[in-house]
Structure formats: C-alpha cells, structure tokens
Amino acid sequence: MKVQGLLEVLNVDGYERMLGIRSGEQLIYCTALQADEYLELGESSSVLVVGQPISVEVFLSVASVSSAQCSEECGLVQDIAESPHAIVTGDVLAITGEDSCVLGLNHQGDLLVEFELPVKPLPGQRVCVVGELMVVDAD
C-alpha cells in the first residue's frame, strides 16, 4: 500500500525509524530500517526531515488473523497512540505465498500482509488482521 504525505513524526534508534506520515486527515505510523544511517536517540537524520513530503510502500507484518463479520468495513485502524500497530479489515484479493496475501482496503488501496505462520485465507474472504505496518520501499 502506498502511503504519501508529509513526514510529521520521526523517531530514531540506531537503524530503526518510526515514521508518522500525515496523509489527508489520517496520521499513519510505520516502522522503517535505514541501513545507510546509524543514529543514537536524539540525533537528527540527514536523509529524513520532519515536514518533508514522503512516499513509502508499506506492508503489514501480522501477529494474528481472524475472520471478520461481513458488516465490518474494509480499512486500517491504528488505535495505539504513536504506534505502527494496526488493525486491518480487508478482502483477500490474492494469495502470494503460504504465509502471505494481498488485501483490498477499498479507497486505501491494496496491502501486502505477511503472516508469522502459514495460513489459508480464501480469495474473496473478508478477514481482520492485527500487526505492525512496516516500510518496504521509500521513493
């Protein structure tokens, strides 16, 4: 899923980054690895700067999955403040491996989901997954 907007929050710890990206009305948190720049807590990145436009591709690393009630709307909810933790409800569009699939989230786009264990969701099935949003690729 492509997340585009302004970088509003940037926390650093070694090679890890916590990004808060303002995309429309939503502030989306995700984690990223930046292997080319090691920073101690409190240091500033020379690559990422709060206030800059940013575009990243994210996926969901999942801790758990369950079937959702069909009445639940597709979408992404982050209910823990300043955390990449996400609850995602979506329709299975494709199975991409024994431990991954693509979920359709309607207006938010399609999201790659990777599970810790093999799962067998069916194409067309609506599922609810819980995990951490992580950056795959930054433009």
Residues in contact with 59: Cβ distance below 8 Å, sequence separation at least 6, in sequence order: 1, 111, 112, 113, 114, 133, 134, 136
Give me the sign of the Cα torsion angle 27, 31, 36, 41: positive
| This prediction's pTM | 0.89
Band the pLDDT of 86: cuts 50, 70, 90. Answer: very high
Can you list the domains of the chain with their CATH numbers? 2-56 (2.40.50), 58-138 (no CATH)
pLDDT at position 64 = 80
C-beta atoms surrounding 90 within 10 Å: 29
pLDDT digits (tens, 9 = 90+) for 59-81: 999 878 776 555 578 899 999 99
**For the chain, the helix, strand and coil percentages under 3-state DSSP, each to the nearest 5:** 0, 60, 35
